Amino acid sequence: EVQLVESGGGLVKPGGSLRLSCEASGFTFSDYGMNWVRQAPGKGLEWVSSYSGTSNYIFYADSVKGRFTISRDNAKNSLYLQMNSLRVEDTAVYYCARGVFDTWGQGTLVNVSS
């Protein structure tokens, strides 16, 4: 079964940092581009970042560029999102999604609040 499991969310103060993880199983992880997508409470979906499967292309939304860093470890079947200089407006459920969004994890909640 194809599965994505996010972890690492929590409560953090503005200006703080968090590292999210997404563990993949049930497919050849290195064959797929991977994405982070977030959803603020009561709001729509917002694409955050993507990492290509084998060619090391990385893309970021303007809203997180320079603050967030996406990475992956194909040996560990894992995707990561290092989030620095967090802002209140980064509060959201963060989802890991495979390829062109054909599989999603359950999400992990990041709450940035003083």
- Chain contacts with another protein (rule: CB under 8 A): 35, 37, 44-47, 50, 59-63, 95, 97, 100-107
Q: Which is nearer to another protein, 12 or 93 (CB)?
A: 93
Q: Which is nearer to another protein, 16 or 99 (CB)?
A: 99
- Least distance to another protein from the beta carbon of 75, Å? 26
Shortest distance (Å) from residue 102 CB to another protein:
5
- Please state the closest distance from residue 108 (CB atom) to another protein, in A: 11
How far is 98 from 112, CA to CA, in rounded Å? 26
Is 45 or 84 the residue whose CB approaches another protein more closely?
45
What b/e string do you get for 39-75 counting C-beta neighbours within 10 Å, with b at 16 or more?
A: eeeeeeeebbbbbebeeeeeebeeebeeebebebeee
The dihedral region occupied by 5, where left means phi > 0, alpha psi between -120 and 50, and beta the remainder, is beta
